[in-house]
Amino acid sequence: MLISTKGRYALRVIVDLAEHQAEGLIPLKVIAKRQEISEKYLESIIKLLVKARMVNGMRGKGGGYRLTKAPHQYTVGSILRLTEESLAPVACLEPGAASCPRMAACRTLSLWQGLDKVISDYLDNITIAELMRPDDAGNDYVI
């Protein structure tokens, strides 16, 4: 399994929106500049995120994008499953894969199933809130 640029950039976009959610709608141009990613490439990623209702947006002056849920409600796994064809470590475990004729006699199937479970469990238990930049240390003192 190799995570594509699209998957990595989608995570960066979601984290960026989460870190700046208090600013309201964020123009794609601003995200692209902060993340040093081509605005043109981000357009295709943002379309996926909008279609999946992970973000919503508004066109025109004053427009931009924002998260549809709180950062703790997004998991890394859900975002990567949206952008990647598969997170499965082998083809026979990909969603919708045809049943392998060797499955009954496969000595390594349980190994791959275990790895698939470890990957899914790990990615599904990391939220965007956990990836956000923590507030500056020392700036939380209250009198």
Mind listing the pLDDT tens digit for each residue in 101-122? 888 889 999 999 999 999 999 9
Q: What is the pLDDT of residue 138?
A: 47
Domain boundaries, the chain: 5-131
Q: What is the pLDDT of residue 137?
A: 47
Query: What type of residue sits at position 123?
Result: L
Cα separation values, 101 from 12, 89, 93, 97, Å: 40, 18, 13, 12
- Which residues share a beta bridge with 13? none
Residues 6+ apart with CB under 8 A from 32: 38, 39, 42
pTM: 0.86
Q: Name the helix (H) or strand (E) containing 4.
A: none
How many angstroms separate the CA atoms of 69 and 74, rounded? 8
Q: What is the pLDDT of residue 103?
A: 84
Residues 6+ apart with CB under 8 A from 15: 128, 131, 132
pLDDT tens digit at each of 143 positions of the chain: 789 999 999 999 999 999 999 999 999 999 999 999 999 999 999 999 999 999 999 988 889 999 999 999 999 999 999 999 889 999 889 888 888 888 888 999 999 999 999 999 999 999 999 999 876 544 555 55
Q: What is the pLDDT of residue 142?
A: 52
φ/ψ (deg, to 5) at 100: -75, 130
CATH architecture of 5-131: Orthogonal Bundle (1.10)
